[in-house]
Amino acid sequence: MMESPIVQIHQGKLRGAIEKNMNGKDFYAFRGIPYAKSPVGALRFKDPEPQEPWSGVREATKFGNICAQFDWITKKISGSDDCLFLNVYSTNLTPDTPRATLVWIHGGGFVFGSGDDDLFGPDLLIEKDIVLVTINYRLGVLGFLNLEDEACPGNQGLKDQVMALKWVQQNIAKFGGDPNNVTIFGESAGASSVHFLTISPLAQGRLFHKAILQSGVATCPWASSSADSMKEKAIVLSSVLGNEITDTKKLIEYLQSFDALELVKAERSFASWKVRTFNRFFIWNPFLPSIDSKSKNPFLDIPLAEAVKSGIKVPHIIGYTSHEGIIDLVELEKDKYSEIDADPENSLLHPSAKNFLKEFNISVRDLKKIFMDDKKISAENGQSLANLRSASDFLAPIHHVLEIQPRIPGIPTYLYKFDHYSKETAVVQNLFSSDLE
């Protein structure tokens, strides 16, 4: 039986827990470890700052707060500003040889999810003699509002991820991990985050050494936004909260005056807003990664397309499943299909996806004909619509990235497609009670 684990990291001592995985194997779990100062009050919308040391032994047996969000599954608003925590799992704190470290970045459209184990636990990976880290990062308006001002420069959520990776470099050896063998991996928005990290000047270098992108890249149409459109949306957000403000400084002060959950509630009502770049029929999120060139410490200061062409400079695996588009249809009410069918040009695709089609001289109607065979868009033809969305939102951007990024000698790229379908493991269908396959 392993002894109760206490480790000394750079910031202080931590007491973890001893647990068993689904196969009865013991492992150490350290949860709710703060990797940055709590981004509350004046630190809201700001870059993360390093966590200050603490005295005594800090209990690390329970998860920290999740970041403020609307949970797509429970349909509840929960979480907190005070949410920059990570979790570490290991089976050996003092191995003879330091172990490969995997850092998991959760998905959820940049508005939902956490590093907790409610969907993705450590049980299987922890048997592979690795050290696993899972992280929270700020979401939605709190994580990505960009007003092109130093006081609110954008990409706070991505900079949180960078801060977590710096924490890993500083401390992971205390958990048996190898800081010189770190793999970042994630799915959906987590995969897009991984891609962003590989092309950001803030993260390139020694923070990680391999990357796995599962169902997402930075150029997916749902993964980024323009800063000017976010300013427009932020003004509407202030209006929803009761006072329309256009002055940037006053707007920041106004948004800082509200509780985090009030902001999430207002953000959630975005589907009813008449904003130029917003399509109300699918799950578009208003506040997303963007160019933050006005930041003192920019995460991405050149156009995304230009950054992507520089390539991923570490060995990487990238891929997708056969049923990616199902996620776009789970909340689509049946009476909305006819509205989409009546105006596919403006309602079928994300605006960014339409721009992507133009590069290849393909119209929205051409795409509809390919996947729908001139059939009406309806609930009965939902599977065909899901296939179309898979292509436009995932497959095309992923393959395009592989085509335009340079081949770098000695840095392999692996592409996969996961095609197996099982009702037992169909996460989206089971969580949202969808009958699409």
Stretch among 229-243, 323-337, 379-393 having the lowest mean pLDDT:
323-337
Q: With pLDDT > 70 as the criterion, what percentage of the chain qualifies?
A: 92
The predicted pLDDT at position 402 comes to: 94
Query: Which of 118-121's residues contact partners 24+ apart within 8 Å by CB, and which partners?
Result: 119/427
* Residue 343 pLDDT: 83
Task: With a cut of 80, say whether residue 133 has pLDDT above it.
Answer: yes
Mean pLDDT of 375-383: 85
Average of per-residue pLDDT across 143-168? 96
pLDDT top residue among 434 and 73: 73
CATH number of the structural domain 1-437? 3.40.50.1820
**Per-residue model confidence (pLDDT) at position 435:** 57
For residue 322, the one-letter residue type is S
Q: Which are the contacts of 424, defined by CB distance < 8 A and separation ≥ 6? A: none
Residue 283 banded pLDDT, cuts 50, 70, 90: low
SS3 readout for the chain: CCCCCEEEECCEEEECEEEECCCCCEEEEEEEEECECCCCHHHCCCCCCECCCCCCEEECCCCCCCECEECCCCCCEECECCCCEEEEEECCCCCCCCEEEEEEECCCCCCCCCCCCCCCCCCCHHHHCCEEEEECCCCHHHHHCEEEECCEECCHHHHHHHHHHHHHHHHHHHHCEEEEEEEEEEECHHHHHHHHHHHCCCCCCCCCCEEEEECCCCCCCCCCCCHHHHHHHHHHHHHHCCCCCCCHHHHHHHHHCCCHHHHHHHHHHHHHCCCCCCCCCCCCCCCCCCCCCCCCCCCCCCCHHHHHHCCCCCCEEEEEECCHHHHHCCCCCHHHHHHHHHCHHHHCCCHHHHHHHHCCCCCHHHHHHHHHCCCCCCHHHHHHHHHHHHHHHHHHHHHHHHHHCCCCCCCCEEEEEECCCCCCCCHHHHHHCCCCC
- Residue 366: band (very low, low, confident or very high) from pLDDT cuts 50, 70, 90: confident
- Tell me: the pLDDT tens digits for 314-325? 999 999 998 898
More confident residue, 367 or 360: 367
**Where does the pLDDT of residue 279 fall: very low under 50, low under 70, confident under 90, or very high at 90 and above?**
low
Q: pLDDT: is 219 or 348 the higher one?
A: 219
**Mean pLDDT, residues 370-383 taken together:** 85
Split at pLDDT 50, 70, 90, the class of 21 is very high
Give the mean pLDDT of 62-68.
Answer: 98
Per-residue pLDDT of 397-408, as tens digits, reads: 999 999 999 888
pLDDT classification of 275: cutoffs 50, 70, 90? very low
Q: Which of 56-60, 86-90, 208-212, 327-331 has the lowest mean pLDDT?
A: 327-331
Residue 18, pLDDT > 80, answer yes
pLDDT digits (tens, 9 = 90+) for 94-104: 999 999 999 99
* pLDDT tier for residue 274 given thresholds of 50, 70 and 90: very low
pLDDT recorded at residue 433: 54
